[in-house]
Homo-oligomer: A and B are copies of this chain.
Amino acid sequence: MTMRRWTMDAIGRDRLSFGTAAIPDPGPGEVLVKVAAVSLNYRDKLVIETGMGLPLTFPFVPASDMAGSVVATGPGADRFKPGDRVISTFIPGWIDGLNAGNARRPPYKTLGGFHQGVLSEYIAVPESWLAASPASLDDEEASTLPCAGLTAWFALAERAQVRPGETVLVHGTGGVALFGLAIARAQGAEVIVVSGSAEKLARAKALGATHVVDRTAGNWVEAVYALTGDRGADHILEIVGGAHLGRSIEAAAMGGRISVIGVLDGFEVSGPVGPLMLKGLTVQGIGVGHRRALEDFVRAVDRLALKPVIGARYGLAELPEALAALDRGPFGKLVVTMG
């Protein structure tokens, strides 16, 4: 029995090839999952193109986020049964509390990185690496939760406490940003979306953004002051990174919190220390999150009928087209549908 999958034999987008392999058997404690949909993250692009310094094993299957159904269970595996709909966890083994690792070697043992990825019709993984899918989402939608969705949830609902009436500022309209918009609205917050595209801002407004700010139209920090009566934003999802953190520090309210999530603008963040100190700000690094928080998020998705925003869908063979769309900066998530 064979299956189709994407693999790389070396780092580089040109080393991707679409081929076949034997369907694996689930080992002790493992389950075999028929993958139905895979959601792509900007990080997958970085891994494919640069390896990100990770110890990849070739042939390497990229991508981390999938939704599918259990088709078989290995010896001793009893968390799921055949037919159960499941999603992957971005950082397998991080169940709750603090992640493993240390100061010298912070952990980055993710699917489609340290571990093999999910762009494959079947995967066999330890049962602890999976969470139940939300009943209210189809597989394409559910596949967007493990990384982009959980990152926004972990920042706003697990590590921060967003109170009704507070202001949440979201940079851009990518996957994490639009999840942040939806989650913050569910928390009773006002949401300001800052983007450079009038068309994307209009779509964000239609999705529930309280205010939108076109950063090409002037100083967006001043716009935030104006929209909040100088109070500023209580929570900021800092997705751009780099020196942009400094602008977020300026835009933050007294006692505000900035979640550092993104590396779009480079791997070094910087900002002014004066307002950081005088406002008593908290800057928190968010490295996705643990399985318990993903399970909390799944429950919230079901209860609140939150709908992930899918920018475009691709067939399994269309991975190159999906990566090209990732290059252009999509509105919401890109999903590869299997079979």
A:168-226 near B, CB below 8 Å: 183, 186-188, 190, 224-225
Contact A187 B164 (CB under 8 A): yes
Contact B103 A233 (CB under 8 A): yes
CA A275 – CA B107 in complex, angstroms? 9
A81 within 8 A of B: no
- Can you list 7 A-B contacts (CB < 8 A)? A97-B290, A98-B292, A102-B231, A105-B230, A158-B163, A163-B296, A280-B287
- Decide yes or no: A280 and B284 within 8 Å by CB, A102-B231, A188-B300, A290-B97 being known contacts: yes
CA A296 – CA B253 in complex, angstroms? 13
Q: Which of B101, B105, B230, B273 contacts A241 (CB 8 A)?
A: B273
Contact B165 A228 (CB under 8 A): no
Q: Which of A95, A252, A300 lies at the interface centre, i.e. has the most chain B CB atoms within 10 A of its CB?
A: A300
A310 within 8 A of B: no
A4 within 8 A of B: no
When distances are taken between beta carbons in the complex, the residues of chain B under 8 Å from A328 are none
CA A274 – CA B242 in complex, angstroms? 12
Contact A276 B260 (CB under 8 A): yes
Chain A interface: which size bin?
35 or more
When distances are taken between beta carbons in the complex, the residues of chain B under 8 Å from A107 are 254, 278
CA A157 – CA B163 in complex, angstroms? 6
A326 within 8 A of B: no
A282 within 8 A of B: yes
A96 within 8 A of B: yes
Q: Which of B98, B163, B280, B303 contacts A286 (CB 8 A)?
A: B280
A339 within 8 A of B: no
When distances are taken between beta carbons in the complex, the residues of chain B under 8 Å from A285 are 273, 275-283
- Least distance between A9 CB and chain B CB atoms (Å): 27
- Least distance between A85 CB and chain B CB atoms (Å): 17
Contact A278 B287 (CB under 8 A): yes
Report the 4 A-B pairs with minimum CB-CB distance, sorted nearest first. A103-B232, A96-B97, A165-B300, A270-B270
A272 within 8 A of B: yes
- Least distance between A189 CB and chain B CB atoms (Å): 8
Segment at the B interface, from A34-42, A60-68, A261-269 = A261-269
A99 within 8 A of B: yes
A299 within 8 A of B: yes
Q: Which of B190, B246, B284 contacts A268 (CB 8 A)?
A: B246
When distances are taken between beta carbons in the complex, the residues of chain B under 8 Å from A263 are 273-274
When distances are taken between beta carbons in the complex, the residues of chain B under 8 Å from A254 are 98-103, 106-107
Q: Which of B103, B251, B286, B300 contacts A250 (CB 8 A)?
A: B103
CA A12 – CA B281 in complex, angstroms? 31
Contact B304 A165 (CB under 8 A): yes
When distances are taken between beta carbons in the complex, the residues of chain B under 8 Å from A224 are 103
Contact A279 B287 (CB under 8 A): yes
A302 within 8 A of B: yes
